[in-house]
């Protein structure tokens, strides 16, 4: 009896595995063609100065316009792209497009801020990464200080000599570095001191606990203290309410990003937004 049930179980498991791998396989083959089919787009979310409430930066966020499935969010495809080694190629496209778009915004006199681009670990750790960034800046005509690179704690902390060297060279080139989603991964404060980050981005999961959650409040205060002591600016992610804004302002957070200020927008919509504000 047990043997029969076990067999059925294995068959079910087999089937689930097969379905999953078929799904991943189909996703992968569509993803592989996405760059050449020009199916990626960048949406831009503005970042605001906490005191003046003026735009002071923007983050480029990747979307995939997948024929039949409409606009696909990054968490639906980046993990698979990452696992199968497609992210460096996609990331190179993202940097090029973001630099080009920001150069156009500056040229048009619409806004003059840095664009922040998310960089995955394998791309940041590539030997030719700094050269790629320099070349992209030259091609687009974007000044180095108008580009910011966001890396997550795992990139920074999985510290090889290469990562340290890259961060020093980027800093020397005038490109800014931001630590994304700070506080949710494994951070070493010694490493934080060593790498030259200009900004710490406080993860949304802490901000969403405001007001009311004393632990989140305490963690945010601690992060703001560390950043201030190390001379880094701070950006709070996922600011959705006025109450969150007020607490972060009081705590001395320098910048905010979130639906309360502005949602991510395609370039054309961002241009409209900026024109309407003038």
Would you state the torsion angle of the CA atoms of residues 114, 118, 119, 121, taken in this order, to the nearest 10 degrees?
Answer: 140
Site mask, ligand C2E, residues 158-197, x = CB under 6 A? ----------------------xx----------------
Nearer to ligand C2E, 109 or 180 (CB): 180
Longest dimension (CA), the chain: 76
Q: Which partner, Mg ion, ligand C2E, none, binds residue 264 by CB below 5 to 8 Å per kind?
A: ligand C2E
Give the residue, chosen from 176, 180, 257, 265, that forms a contact with Mg ion under the rule CB under 5 A. 180
Between CA 172 and CA 132, with CA 59 as vertex, the angle to 5 degrees is 40
CA end-to-end span of the chain: 76
**Residue 259 binds to ligand C2E (criterion: CB under 6 A):** yes
**Residue 61 binds to ligand C2E (criterion: CB under 6 A):** yes
Nearer to Mg ion, 72 or 119 (CB): 119
Residues 6+ apart with CB under 8 A from 37: none
Helix (H) or strand (E) holding 258: none
**Residue 118 binds to Mg ion (criterion: CB under 5 A):** yes
Nearer to ligand C2E, 58 or 94 (CB): 94
User: Are the C-beta atoms of residues 236 and 203 closer than 8 Å to each other?
Assistant: no
**Residue 238 binds to ligand C2E (criterion: CB under 6 A):** yes
Q: Helix, strand, or coil here: 134?
A: helix
User: Are the C-beta atoms of residues 207 and 179 closer than 8 Å to each other?
Assistant: no
d(CA 278, CA 275): 5
Contact positions with ligand C2E (CB under 6 A) in 195-234: 204
**Residue 94 binds to ligand C2E (criterion: CB under 6 A):** yes
Binding site for ligand C2E (CB under 6 A): 45, 61-62, 73-75, 78, 91, 94, 118, 120, 180-181, 204, 237-240, 257-259, 264
Binding site for Mg ion (CB under 5 A): 118, 150, 180-181, 203-204, 237
């Amino acid at each position: 009896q047990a043997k029969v049930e076990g067999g059925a179980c294995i068959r079910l498991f087999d089937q689930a595995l097969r379905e999953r791998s078929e799904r991943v396989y189909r996703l992968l083959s569509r993803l592989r063609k996405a760059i050449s089919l020009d199916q990626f787009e960048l949406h831009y979310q503005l970042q605001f100065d906490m005191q003046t409430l003026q735009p002071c930066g923007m983050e480029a966020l990747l979307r995939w316009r997948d024929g039949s499935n409409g606009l696909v969010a990054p968490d639906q495809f980046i993990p698979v792209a990452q696992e199968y080694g497609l992210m460096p190629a996609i990331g190179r496209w993202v940097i090029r497009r973001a630099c080009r778009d920001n150069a156009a915004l500056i040229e048009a006199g619409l806004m003059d801020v840095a664009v922040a681009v998310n960089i995955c670990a394998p791309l940041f750790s590539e030997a030719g990464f700094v050269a790629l960034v320099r070349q992209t800046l030259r091609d687009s005509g974007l000044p180095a200080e108008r580009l910011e690179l966001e890396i997550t704690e795992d990139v920074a902390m999985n510290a090889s000599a290469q990562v340290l060297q890259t961060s020093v060279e980027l800093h020397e080139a005038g490109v800014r570095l931001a630590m994304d989603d700070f506080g949710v991964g494994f951070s070493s404060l010694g490493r934080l001191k060593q790498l030259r980050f200009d900004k710490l981005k406080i993860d949304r999961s802490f901000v969403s606990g405001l007001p009311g959650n004393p632990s989140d409040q305490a963690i945010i205060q601690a992060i703001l203290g560390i950043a201030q002591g190390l001379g880094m600016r701070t950006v709070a992610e996922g600011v959705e309410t006025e109450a969150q804004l007020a607490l972060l302002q009081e705590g001395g957070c320098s910048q905010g990003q979130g639906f309360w200020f502005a949602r991510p927008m395609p370039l054309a919509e961002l241009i409209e937004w900026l024109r309407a504000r003038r």
